[in-house]
Structure 1
């Protein structure tokens, strides 16, 4: 049985925590990955860890107020999947975020691919748990297909809105469509995989977001031809926050020296139409 690595007394550094994360779970390293420290000094001693969907300024402020100076985020702080700063440094928004991180001695770890490569996928596991769908997985199918008690597309949308506190989700399809078979694509749903899901044996495709002029338009057109399908867009953060909550639970076992917690973030969208459950 492999022995646990010897850990020094006192708080770990951000780099030590990253090493623990990448060594856990037997996940093969990718030749290229977006997972890395994208802000802060890796040798910083960590006083606490916060996980969140997006390293927004609101999220960073909440983490700093809670004494969590290592932020583990599904999406990084600088508005780019690869954290490419070449065209960002000239803008005041970049300076404000950079200066805040420096002033609070914070480190941000962009962690996505490792979470998705683990078995089970941490995001899928956490979202199923958040929705109460752990026992609803479709037999013989990949992890993110579910068979739910019969309902309508409207009923499912209301259930999702309530469980996720999602006030601005969007739905394509007949509200009274009878549904029970759901395929989920958490986070960004690319065009071709979403279209394939839409043409599989499911009633509803559930995703974070996708390009409206690609997969959404395809879904709209297929429904217009008479296909009995629905599409629900949760919004990006709402479709991965359950997974980042599960990430915090996992990191608690890896980093017992300091507190670890998941931090939800305020929804960025609003609508002029009054919303009620």
Structure 2
């Protein structure tokens, strides 16, 4: 979803507060804003207002069948601050509490399965700790997955392409990017690691292969969709979030054995879609500048040894 700048601070090392330029509004007191007759006015924005405003911009929204529901709290809660993130982890929740933010907009599930079903977790200590932490601090969690992918352009893809600095390379189908100039696979991997702050990636291919036509598929699209897109678009390389090793990786291996110059780079699910949460923070700053929105990277749960 690079937005490189001249500062020496790695923006993923620290929390990135996103606010609209010149839009800082102090609401510490009901007397801050006054109208004729000295009637105090204080803007109060609810969770539901923010949700509805975003959904209104999504073609076909609201959806009748979606995982984008509230995982804790309710839509009538007045928002004190917002945190955007990939996963609403316990660490992210604690950082939200420290920021006095009571609304977390997450891209992925809170409770370890796609639909956030919790019946099977009721007696589990880990689930109960997290659920009680949210309840104790009156924090609302909204999953924004289907909607942010369905807004046009796709918010996750837009955020990732901006971070990579690939906007000018995008083909009309929003899947293929024509790099100019072409890069070797080794150079492409180095560039991806630098711009996305990745420690390591998994790959298939010849490091010296020239890569110009890149199929970019963040997240977990699934093996059949990844393979079909490779068949349809004939890229030099597929750059994706995650794979089923017994599907996509095996297709690429066989394709190379059959003589195709096809490579694969697996970034990791979280890092490939986290720019979508930064996209969301920017959207909030533009639409609701009176409420502080902070992007907190949840980071990957996995490490390389």
Query: Is the 2:57–2:151 contact (alpha carbons within 8 Å) kept by the matching residues of 1?
Result: no
Q: Which residue, out of 24, 32, 44, partners 2:77?
A: 44
1:116 aligns with 2:118: no
TM-score (norm 2): 0.81
- Aligned CA distance change for structure 1 residues 229 and 248 (closer, same or farther; 3 Å): same
Distance 1:90 1:214 in 2: 35
- Two-structure CA RMSD over aligned residues (Å): 1.7
Larger relative contact order (CA 8 Å, sep ≥ 6): 2
SS at match of 2:121: coil
Give the unaligned 5+ runs of structure 2.
Answer: 1-40
Q: Which residue, out of 160, 184, 187, partners 2:216?
A: 184
Q: Which residue, out of 195, 202, 223, partners 1:170?
A: 202
Size of the aligned set, in residue pairs, is: 263
1:17 aligns with 2:23: no
Moved more, 50-59 or 18-27: 18-27
SS at match of 2:71: strand
SS at match of 1:258: coil
Who is 1:3 aligned against? none
Equivalent residue runs for 1:192-207 within 5 Å: 192-199=224-231, 200-207=233-240
Who is 2:255 aligned against? 222
Give the unaligned 5+ runs of structure 1.
Answer: 1-7, 273-277
Distance 2:182 2:57 in 1: 39
Distance 1:25 1:192 in 2: 26
Question: How far 1:26 moved relative to its partner?
Answer: 4.7
Who is 2:186 aligned against? 154
Q: Post-superposition, which runs of at least 4 consecutive aligned residues in structure 1 deviate over 4 A?
A: none
Moved more, 129-138 or 212-221: 212-221
Deviations 1:44-74 (A, max 9, x none): 2211111111112222222222222111111
Question: How far 1:25 moved relative to its partner?
Answer: 4.7
Query: Is the 1:12–1:45 contact (alpha carbons within 8 Å) kept by the matching residues of 2?
Result: yes
